[in-house]
């Protein structure tokens, strides 16, 4: 039967248009779906939001139209966030931010064949399809030791806090001396606190026998330790770690003048910080560049990534690497990032670059 449509026929009933879903993403045929898993609430919420903001900045700055970035909050459960991300069809996970959340995310992602690029700096979580993108303290120590050796350092000692960071620093120092030469004469450990670090430094000073001391801690405790080490006219060269980067208090401690430490270049960070602040009204956390650079590397890989296909993880280990706000970087076959770092020297009122970061990888 042909329905009546002529004059006098009642108009056909038209139901309301369906409302867009608040929980489902629209269908994509020309964009890759990428998930960012970070905490958005709780103690780490501001840091996670800063990373997510930076990732979205990268999309805007590059005018990218082939990626859809969706943020998932891990503060109520990393496993649940990963489950939602996979169900939404994301083919790559950027995150989680914390190493302790990697197992829960990885167990969900692995079943779906979705790789993840963790923003943690804990290398122990790296495995097949789990890449670690954070700033690795071991690499900072290795770079500083290599440079110090080129400046004539031979006999090393170390002031190290108890705990995981101190353990990693001790292992990194031993590995660096094995690779670049030099002798480890003495190590003193301390519980974090001014009295403890000063006591450890006093013991180290009294023992002597070294020309260079690694202090693997933040600026406040490193300043106290260095001051104690140099009492009585002693003048060992001090080495720090990436924890010193961006700390203005460095230049206010006389005992740290001449100290060396290595970190990623800040050359591009100032412009990023200004742009971020103009967009969001607050200064970004220094770690937020991880979100920006993770999107840049995804865009690079996406040149050869067919829509609807799994993310081509093999391209992450390209030997020429990638370039981001933090300089050149690449992933090893073990999933751990390798970063080009510069060496800086602390001076009165200033921190200067004494050995620039390589602009690219050539090996």
Instruction: Tell me the per-residue pLDDT of 6-61, one tens digit each, with 9 for 90 and over.
Output: 444 444 444 444 444 445 555 666 899 999 999 999 999 999 999 999 999 999 99
Q: What is the mean pLDDT of residues 75-100?
A: 97
Q: What is the mean pLDDT of residues 260-281?
A: 96
Pair (174, 259) in one structural domain: yes
Pair (181, 50) in one structural domain: no
pLDDT on residue 363: 79
Q: How far is CA 232 from CA 15, 211, 255, in A?
A: 88, 15, 12
Q: For residue 336, is it within any domain? A: no
pTM score of the predicted model: 0.87
Pair (178, 257) in one structural domain: yes
Whether 74 and 120 have beta carbons less than 8 Å apart is answered as: no
Q: For residue 71, is it within any domain? A: yes
State the residue range of the domain holding 317: 30-135+267-331
Q: For residue 39, is it within any domain? A: yes
Pair (35, 97) in one structural domain: yes
How far, in whole angstroms, is CA 258 from its chain's centroid? 27
> pLDDT tens digit string along 132-141?
999 999 999 9
The domain that holds 195 is classified in CATH as 3.40.50.2300
CA distance 277 to 295: 19
Q: Which residues, in sequence order, are bridge partners of residue 351? A: 346
Per DSSP, the three-state class of 206 is helix
Q: How far is CA 182 from CA 45, 130, 344, in A?
A: 43, 34, 21
309 or 95, which is more confident: 95
% of the chain at pLDDT higher than 90? 85
Only one residue has tokens 């650079």, namely 293
pLDDT on residue 195: 87
Q: Which residues, in sequence order, are bridge partners of residue 262? A: 343
> pLDDT tens digit string along 179-218?
999 999 999 999 997 689 999 999 999 999 999 999 999 9
Q: Which residues, in sequence order, are bridge partners of residue 36? A: 71, 94
């Amino acid at each position: 039967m042909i329905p009546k449509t002529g004059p006098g026929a009642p108009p056909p009933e038209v139901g309301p248009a369906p409302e867009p879903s608040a929980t489902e993403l629209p269908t994509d045929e020309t964009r890759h779906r990428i998930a960012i898993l970070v905490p958005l609430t709780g103690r780490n919420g501001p840091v996670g939001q800063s990373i997510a903001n930076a990732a979205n900045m990268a999309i805007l700055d590059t005018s990218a139209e082939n990626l859809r970035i969706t943020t998932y909050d891990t503060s109520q459960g990393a496993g649940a966030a990963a489950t939602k991300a996979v169900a939404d069809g994301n083919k790559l996970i950027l995150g989680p931010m914390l190493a302790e959340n990697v197992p829960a995310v990885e167990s969900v992602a692995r079943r779906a064949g979705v790789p993840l690029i963790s923003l943690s700096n804990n290398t122990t979580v790296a495995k097949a399809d789990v890449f670690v993108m954070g700033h690795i303290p071991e690499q900072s120590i290795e770079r500083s030791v290599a440079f110090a050796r080129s400046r004539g350092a031979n006999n090393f000692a170390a002031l190290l806090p108890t705990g995981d960071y101190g353990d990693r620093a001790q292992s990194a120092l031993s590995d660096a001396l094995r690779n670049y030469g030099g002798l480890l004469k003495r190590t003193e450990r301390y519980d974090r606190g001014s009295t403890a670090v000063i006591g450890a430094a006093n013991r180290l000073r009294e023992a002597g026998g070294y020309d260079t001391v690694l202090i693997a801690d933040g600026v406040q405790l490193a300043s106290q330790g260095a001051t104690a080490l140099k009492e009585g006219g002693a003048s060992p060269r001090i080495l720090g770690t990436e924890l010193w980067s961006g700390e203005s208090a460095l230049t206010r401690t006389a005992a740290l003048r001449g100290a060396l430490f290595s970190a990623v270049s800040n050359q591009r960070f100032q412009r990023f910080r200004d742009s971020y602040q103009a967009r969001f009204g607050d200064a970004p956390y220094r770690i937020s560049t991880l979100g920006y650079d993770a999107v840049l590397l995804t865009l690079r890989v996406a040149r050869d990534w067919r829509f609807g296909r799994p993310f081509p993880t093999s391209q992450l280990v390209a030997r020429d690497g990638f370039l981001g706000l933090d300089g050149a970087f690449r992933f090893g076959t073990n999933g751990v990032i390798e970063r080009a770092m510069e060496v800086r020297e602390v001076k009165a009122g200033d921190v200067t670059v004494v050995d620039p970061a390589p602009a690219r990888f050539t090996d």
